[in-house]
Structure 1
Amino acid sequence: MKVVELLTGPFVTTRAYAGGMANGVFHTGYGITINLTLPDLGHPERPDLLEEILRPVGDRDRALLECLDHHAGRVCRSENADKSPWMFISTRRRHGRLVLVGAHLPVTHRATPEESARHRAMKERIARCAERHGLHAQVEARSADGRIVTDVLVTGAGGTRIGWEAQYSPITGETVRRRSRRAVENGITPLWVTDSERAALIDRAPWVRVDDFSSRDITSKLAMFVRGGIRHLQVWKCLPTSERPCPTTGSACGRFHSGWFLPALCLPTKAPTQVDYLVVASADGEFVPLQIQDDDGRRTASRMWVPAADRDTWWDIVGRPETTGATEDTTDSPDEEITFTGEELDPTCRYGEETLTRNDPRSRRERPDATGLRTFAQVPHSTFALPADPPTLKASAAQRRAAAAQFGCPVWEIGPCGLCGAPIHRYGNRSAHACGSCRTALLRSRLPGQ
């Protein structure tokens, strides 16, 4: 975040604040009043003051910054509403420029009865599913250092520990990052669950989105599907007959493309993953977290859960990253300059007028489009599963006709499985290179511990 200019001229508008946000706070540590519209905050003798007040709330005293009305003994509308008089500093866009603003700490949100009920129900469902499949599950698991409490800690047979966090109430992106980093430091892979496509946790840590079920439905035997946060790798050659358009030119380019797609957008489509299945598959290493650096020119990243075999193929294509942890630090947007408007300090409590979206200015964080799209001249040889000298088809005319009827394709599209030679739908649209049995055996051989 860059700090730059003091605006003068017609742009300066006294007492025109960002969506009702406060333009000043009181620093209880130094006993000074801070004007957020001035480059030096009104205290040139303290050059590090801006850096200090922008520190995450979790890393400082929560009572460090105080509402000016509350400090002066006047009515703080936030406290009057039985909420917090303490403040945090964030940014907000006004007239196309980024400015500093003060807002009351979001300790004000108390989980509603329904949010709390769904939170409890999801924890119960995850723990019950894990134990039913022979996994160890611990609800409200506290780490050895006491710094984190995980909603449900599921431990797989190989020692993999997945920390499920059922998040039905608002949470800040910084809180998600901080708690996820601490989980990783304790050998836990975090897995956040939300029912909102606008949740701040999306792409801040490994996550999935589920349906907006009631607490009663969550605890029932109803199938609960993952609707976002799980993707599958698709690799295809860009030909005129390809079912997908070329992502770079719009027409067939003759090269290969790869990208991560939601199950419904795969060709052929894949069935969505059930939450109960993910509880087991994540602990067993069949599904793993993956972070993809976006290639759209922004310093952003997408996080997702993917099949382990797809991740390994992806690494064969793009190269294995130096860091493969669950919470690599990324920036949600490039550094942007903060504008200081030089306005008069307003001591009035602005609680109730605050319209700041603290976590993200976008209304929707989840993206349905493909991510991590790459183009390359040829498929790396290390991704080939078929032998260099595949078997030939040994089947009579009658056997070929029977296979064609079984697969619902013309006889001339029947060919040999590239691994065992059995007659399969080998050529044409929606064909495969290997039979189902060989593909299953190959997938199992790529899973950890096999």
Structure 2
Amino acid sequence: MANVVWHKKLRILLDLTRDDLDHPELPDLWDTVYKTDRFYGRLGVPVSERDLQCGGVCRDLGVEAPMHLRMRGGRREAVHERREDEERHIAPMSDEHKAYQERILRAAEEGGFTGDSEVRTRIGRSWIQTDTLVEGADGRRIGWEVQLSTIDESGLRGVRSRAAKAAKNGITPAWHTDRLAYAQRNDTHWTRSDHLPAFVIARTGDLRIVSGFRVLDFWHCDIHALYPCPYGVRRCGKAHATPKPRDVLFDDMVRQTAAGTIVPIQFRAGKTVHRYWVTSADRDRLDDLNSDDTRLPPEREAAQASGASRNRPTCQPAATPITAVTPPSTPALPVLPALSALPLQPSAPAIETAPAAAEQQANITRQATEGVTGLPSELITLQQAADDAHLRLQQLHDHHERQLQRQAWRDAAAAVQSAVTHYARTKRLNRHEVEARLRSLVRHTAR
């Protein structure tokens, strides 16, 4: 509601707080305007065609916000037709909201795209207003709606209808928030960043989206699968896709949605439909999977959704710079010969006349080892190195030497874990069974 109304035909402002509407030269002005508006209402004339608009905050911002009049408890009231116009009076735009709008426009401009804030698009007899509209490639239009923690969740209504109206008229809705409760809703495609002050959002540091972007993992539902079957059976033998959360930089999100390399999808899990942002390559593979789920869709090349950046992150605005401390020089422990997965190759071949023979002999040895133990020799070597490093740690008593050896043991154990994961994934085996068989084989042999 508002107290000041603009009359389009009379071209005057009406102050509802005053008996004469601030126009003493026009007697009975309220009765005339009110009865005319009620008459239009009985005839079914839309509010947008009744000559009355908000003359307060909306008019100051250059927004045409239709209104109608009513009497409530003996008071004169002017009511907005749209809820978003009403919210403009309740919650003024915060500094954080303005910072996000500026950042979206700056990121779009750096990617070669154009945009504008507070854009109104006419749809039939009504309008839709977008916080920030980015004009992307191939006629693509991304409508960014920023909803921060300025109002409670009960005040956030009409999101689904507004997003559907925007999508129906060629605008891809992209809603961004800093509230977990909003990001968990499924009424539109939400993205979320950490709650940050305006000066942090506005600067050029890396602002990271922590929710809303997914990477699809495609897998075959057999006894070697790492995920449970989504159909609730033991193994159905079909191909499935599982969305995995992945962080992405906010600036990259703005540019790649405009370029079309990041797109929105609707992912059905059971009876629930989730709305995520994914790469266009994952979207195409998901379409292939939905058309034929008896086999895995082919791999597609995709641009990186995010990457390394020289900018400082914005996730810790008040953090104190940390000065790097150079550790004191300490005597190095003897290097364990079994830590590397493969023997180091010389910079130049010692015998250039027979490289193929040496490689053939190595393959024969590797195949023989794998044929006897069922596991490649590289895994056995890595597991032996990790066990040896742990045994050496138990034999040390000096505190400093134990710290160094503990780190060596952790590095060796991490190398084993990575190699086991890669081998199980390549051979389509159960990772837990591979790890258990490897440890049993190495430790039983050691005895």
- Normalising by structure 1, we get a TM-score of 0.46
Higher fraction of helix: 2
By relative contact order (CA 8 Å, sep 6+), the higher-ranking structure is: 1
- TM-score with structure 2 setting the length: 0.47
